[in-house]
């Protein structure tokens, strides 16, 4: 199967994809670049105050707009977002996006999209704001939609570091990005608050969870996310890819076959190395 024979399965029409993916499509010449001053840190001035006579130097009152107005009216986004929108003059575009594309729940089209995804990028951070981004993969629909405000993804056996789960245990905020690289070239962001649940506990509360797993894909636990924001990632810069069949050496301890030292890191030195034998149990020096 080639990209030309793949049929879009989501909301994008084949005609639109043909237009965007066509080789040699005409390009609009870029507009002349007008140099603009570099803004390192946006400085937001307080509204001007009127002179004692109620007017200003030119006879009119000209208070500056409040850059956090949209936040005060319940719009999504961080304070930093809204301040930079003011600094860079993108408030109107941002407001259109908030009002037209951002939801506080999953609508039916989003649920259908999630149901055919086989990978997700997960972003977390610890209580100090140190970040981690990780990839989660599984069979199509491995991310389970529980209802319009909750989804869950499985945690399989891994390297034992538990970086994402460790972050979630300190800071529940999580960002998930799912991308269709194959047919519709579109992405879905889901941001929310996460909690860790053991497989048996979630299965008891949600018996519809799948119970037929591929080898190496048995969930040990789940991350349940309460949806706070769900919105589109546009297709403008998403590359098109074609999946291929691969044989996976499940169960092997061969580092090379697993790609465990692909970057030749094992022999490198690191600040946390110590003269203590690597196989000495943690805490044995105490």
Question: Does any domain span residue 282?
Answer: no
Question: Does any domain span residue 47?
Answer: no
Q: What is the DSSP string of 159-193?
A: SS--HHHHHHHH--EEEEEEEETTTT-EEEEEEEE
Residues 205 and 143 in one domain: yes
Domain that holds residue 93: 67-102
Q: Which residue has the tokens 């969870």?
A: 209
Q: What is the CATH number for 125? A: 2.30.110.10
Element (H, E) at 15: helix 14-21
Please state the separation of Cα 2 from the chain's center in Å.
28
pTM above 0.75, yes or no: no
Q: Which residue has the higher pLDDT, 72 or 84?
A: 84
Strand partners, 231: 189
pLDDT for 246-261, tens place per residue? 776 655 556 566 667 8
Give the end of a domain, one of 233, 250, 279: 233
Residue 7 pLDDT more than 80? no
In order of 80, 147, 202, 212, 222, the CA distances from 208 in angstroms are 40, 12, 10, 12, 14
Residues 89 and 118 in one domain: no
Q: Which residue has the tokens 């909750």?
A: 150
Domains of the chain: total: 2
pLDDT for 13-48, tens place per residue? 556 555 554 544 444 444 554 555 444 555 554 444
Residues 90 and 162 in one domain: no
Residues 125 and 215 in one domain: yes
Residues 212 and 169 in one domain: yes
pLDDT of residue 58: 56
Give the end of a domain, one of 233, 249, 275: 233
């Amino acid at each position: 199967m080639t990209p030309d024979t793949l049929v879009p399965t989501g909301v994008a029409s084949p005609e639109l994809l043909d237009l965007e993916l066509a080789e040699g499509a005409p390009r609009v010449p870029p507009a002349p670049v007008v140099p603009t001053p570099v803004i390192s840190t946006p400085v937001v001035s307080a509204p001007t105050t009127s002179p004692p006579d109620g007017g200003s130097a030119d006879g009119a009152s000209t208070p500056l707009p409040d850059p956090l107005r949209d936040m005060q009216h319940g719009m999504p986004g961080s304070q930093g977002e809204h301040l930079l929108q003011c600094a860079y003059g993108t408030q109107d575009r941002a407001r259109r996006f908030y009002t037209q594309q951002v939801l506080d729940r999953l609508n039916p089209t989003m649920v259908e999209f999630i149901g055919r995804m086989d990978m997700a990028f997960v972003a977390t951070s610890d209580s100090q704001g140190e970040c981690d981004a990780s990839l989660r993969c599984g069979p199509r629909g491995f991310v389970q939609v529980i209802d319009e405000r909750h989804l869950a993804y499985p945690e399989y056996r891994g390297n034992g570091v538990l970086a994402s789960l460790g972050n979630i245990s300190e800071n529940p905020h999580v960002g998930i990005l799912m991308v269709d690289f194959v047919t519709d070239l579109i992405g879905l962001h889901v941001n929310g608050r996460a909690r860790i649940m053991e497989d048996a506990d979630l299965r008891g509360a949600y018996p519809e969870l799948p119970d037929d797993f591929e080898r190496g894909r048995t969930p040990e636990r789940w991350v349940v996310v309460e949806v706070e924001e769900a919105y589109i990632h546009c297709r403008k810069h998403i590359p098109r890819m074609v999946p291929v069949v691969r044989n996976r050496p499940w169960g092997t301890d061969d580092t090379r076959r697993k790609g465990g030292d692909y970057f030749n890191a094992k022999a490198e030195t690191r600040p946390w190395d110590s003269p203590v034998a690597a196989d000495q149990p943690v805490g044995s020096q105490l």
